[in-house]
A and B are shown apart, each in its own frame.
Chain A
Amino acid sequence: GENVEQHPSTLSVQEGDSAVIKCTYSDSASNYFPWYKQELGKRPQLIIDIRSNVGEKKDQRIAVTLNKTAKHFSLHITETQPEDSAVYFCAAFLSGYALNFGKGTSLLVTP
């Protein structure tokens, strides 16, 4: 199976609504979980990350939650805006050094 699974693959929300993207991972030793945003034709850029000693982290409209027991973590975007439209990737460091990404979620925020 995949090391990092991400759902949903596409997500459409109306401006102002919340969006939630979920990821699960397989390696219980993973200790760092970043989220990247990729706009069309551009490089992935880190938007938020969380380490295994923290359960939740928030940065303005973006938050990430981590459940180490269940091996899943989620990205929450509140008060979505059209400029939030992009592809979002979760990732987890496996075995300490390799980095595995989820397959991505294409988020569309409609005005």
Chain B
Amino acid sequence: AQSVSQHNHHVILSEAASLELGCNYSYGGTVNLFWYVQYPGQHLQLLLKYFSGDPLVKGIKGFEAEFIKSKFSFNLRKPSVQWSDTAEYFCAVNPFGNEKLTFGTGTRLTIIP
């Protein structure tokens, strides 16, 4: 069974700092990859996704993620964070052709103004 590891449980940054959140998965086959975000008091929503093609994908609000197949990683990045980026971020993996979307435990991001 596939699993997803998010090594950073809580990250605290100042505004304008650069962000990188790690995500590694264990599954040997083709996968679809996702980052979801949950702002305080709101529902989970899609930030970005990778299915195929360019391994560098861009999402909403200036976020991007890079799929490195050899490292089984899909790290999330943003060059300059804002206070409004305070949220919980979840990486998720879906084996191609499978209904199961497996989530990581999430990373809580706190941005200090």
* Same complex origin of A and B: no
Show the binding face of A for B, using Cβ within 8 Å: none
